């Protein structure tokens, strides 16, 4: 990083000098009025990453050469685009450092207190902090039997079908969707129609029937089990009974990304006894501020497996790779 002081009669004049030498990407560290013999002047201390300067110089060299027609028009455009892309990436990297990592500042910005506590004492390099937290959680096996549980309207049914299509086309797998949701009159007709349209095998069963059909589920690579809303139509005790009979079942918890983290942690306490393998995070497209989403790094919570970022079926689903999670939760970091 290069740091330099710039002086001018007015703040504007000093700023112009900063812009001329360091370009648009300069970071202003401080500005102050200084009394001299010639009167009061303004002094700005600015900083810039060395790479930014190189890029800026290269860009100017390039422009000069381009003006002299040493490059073809097409070259000029593709190289310019590449440089802009690199600049954007650098900006993102620079922005992923907190300027003020005090606990109160982090909480004020929306970071959950239990994460803010760790961040304010740990290495403030955010990308490293996130990678470490995600690695500690480990990776999730793609279990054959996955039961999707969650609040009413959290996106269980929709996203099970997105996932069924995902496994079918990405893994060339044989997938069965089982619905234990036989409470909704009329709804199952729509779900059946959806299964037909997406060419996914589909069965509606109750808890007892599920135990009985177990032997015929052998021919499938994945059995994705949809459930009615938790606590309203399906009790946690029912699920505990179910796993006594079918101990190989694994659970995916479907959670709306727009929920408050305190509510999520409360819900988690209720279901943590179940073999919950991962979280399917939905309604990510409706997240207004990404910073409260730092709760997903908490070590008590299972890892995120998939992310649903819209209503379109089957395409609005992403596997929760490290880079995707980073992009998601660092989206609003510029506000810090």
Ligand X SMILES: Nc1nc2c(ncn2[C@@H]2O[C@H](COP(=O)(O)OP(=O)(O)OP(=O)(O)O)[C@@H](O)[C@H]2O)c(=O)[nH]1
Q: How far is CA 158 from CA 46, 90, 239, 254, 312, in A?
A: 50, 37, 21, 11, 9
Asked if residue 308 binds ligand X (CB under 6 A), the reply is yes
- Residues 83 and 65: beta-carbon distance below 8 Å: no
Minimum CB separation from Mg ion for residue 28, in Å? 51
Asked if residue 283 binds ligand X (CB under 6 A), the reply is yes
Asked if residue 152 binds ligand X (CB under 6 A), the reply is yes
Asked if residue 275 binds ligand X (CB under 6 A), the reply is no
Closest CA to 309 of 292, 290, 286, 332: 286
Instruction: State which of residues 157, 165, 282, 308 lies at the interface with Mg ion (CB under 5 A).
Output: 157
Smaller CB separation from Mg ion, 157 or 282: 157
Q: Which stretch binds ligand X (CB under 6 A): 10-18, 31-39, 66-74, 277-285?
A: 277-285
H or E element, residue 224:
strand 222-226
Closest CA to 226 of 203, 256, 199: 203
Q: Taking CB positions, which residue lies at the least distance from Mg ion?
A: 157
Query: CA-to-CA distance for 266 and 257, rounded, in angstroms?
Result: 15
In the 8-state DSSP scheme, what is residue 322? H
Provide the mask over 153-172, with x wherever binding to ligand X is found by CB under 6 A and - wherever it is not.
Answer: xxxxxxx-------------
Asked if residue 282 binds ligand X (CB under 6 A), the reply is yes
Provide the mask over 171-190, with x wherever binding to ligand X is found by CB under 6 A and - wherever it is not.
Answer: ----------x---------
Asked if residue 303 binds ligand X (CB under 6 A), the reply is no
Give the count of alpha carbons within 13 A of 122, CB side only.
15
H or E element, residue 282:
strand 276-282
Q: How far is CA 70 from CA 66, 82, 84, in A?
A: 6, 18, 20
Give the β-pairing of 276-282 and 250-256.
parallel
Q: Which stretch binds ligand X (CB under 6 A): 102-110, 205-213, 234-242, 306-314?
A: 306-314
Q: Which stretch binds ligand X (CB under 6 A): 104-112, 151-159, 204-212, 260-268?
A: 151-159
Smaller CB separation from ligand X, 57 or 231: 231
Asked if residue 252 binds Mg ion (CB under 5 A), the reply is no
Minimum CB separation from ligand X for residue 68, in Å? 52
Instruction: State which of residues 285, 303, 324, 331 lies at the interface with ligand X (CB under 6 A).
Output: 285
Smaller CB separation from Mg ion, 133 or 280: 280
Residue identified by tokens 């998939």 is: 306
- The beta-carbon contacts of 93-97 under 8 Å, at least 24 apart in sequence, are 93/127, 94/25, 94/27, 94/49, 95/333, 95/334, 96/125, 96/126, 96/127, 96/330, 96/333, 97/124, 97/125, 97/126
Chain residues in the site for Mg ion (CB under 5 A): 156-157
**Residues contributing to the site for ligand X (CB under 6 A):** 150, 152-159, 181, 229, 282-283, 285-286, 308-311
């Amino acid at each position: 990083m290069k740091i330099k002081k710039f002086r001018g009669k007015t703040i504007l004049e000093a700023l112009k000098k900063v812009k001329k030498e360091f370009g648009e990407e300069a970071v202003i560290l401080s500005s102050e009025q200084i009394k001299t013999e010639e009167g009061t002047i303004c002094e700005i201390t600015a900083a810039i990453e060395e790479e930014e300067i190189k890029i800026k110089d290269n860009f100017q060299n390039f422009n000069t050469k381009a003006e002299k027609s040493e490059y073809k028009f097409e070259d000029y455009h593709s190289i310019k685009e590449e440089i802009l892309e690199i600049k954007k990436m650098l900006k993102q990297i620079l922005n992923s450092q907190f300027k003020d990592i005090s606990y109160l500042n982090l909480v004020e910005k929306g970071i959950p207190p239990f994460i803010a506590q760790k961040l304010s004492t740990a290495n403030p390099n955010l990308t490293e902090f996130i990678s470490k937290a995600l690695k500690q959680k480990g990776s999730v096996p793609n279990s054959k039997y996955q039961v999707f549980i969650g609040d009413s309207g959290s996106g269980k049914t929709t996203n099970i079908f997105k996932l069924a299509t995902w496994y079918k086309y990405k893994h060339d797998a044989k997938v069965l969707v089982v619905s234990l949701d036989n409470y909704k009159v009329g709804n199952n007709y729509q779900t059946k129609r959806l299964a037909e349209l997406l060419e996914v095998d589909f069965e509606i069963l109750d808890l007892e029937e599920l135990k009985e059909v177990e032997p015929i589920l052998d021919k499938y690579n994945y059995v994705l089990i949809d459930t009615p809303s938790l606590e309203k139509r399906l009790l946690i005790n029912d699920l505990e009974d179910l796993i006594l009979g079918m101990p190989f079942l694994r659970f995916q918890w479907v959670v709306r990304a727009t929920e408050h983290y305190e509510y999520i942690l409360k819900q988690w306490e209720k279901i943590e006894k179940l073999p919950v393998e991962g979280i399917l995070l939905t309604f990510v497209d409706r997240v207004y501020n990404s910073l409260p989403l730092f709760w997903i790094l908490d070590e008590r919570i299972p890892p995120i497996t998939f992310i649903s970022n819209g209503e379109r079926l089957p395409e609005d689903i992403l596997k929760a790779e490290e880079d995707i999670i980073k992009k998601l939760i660092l989206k609003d970091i510029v506000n810090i």
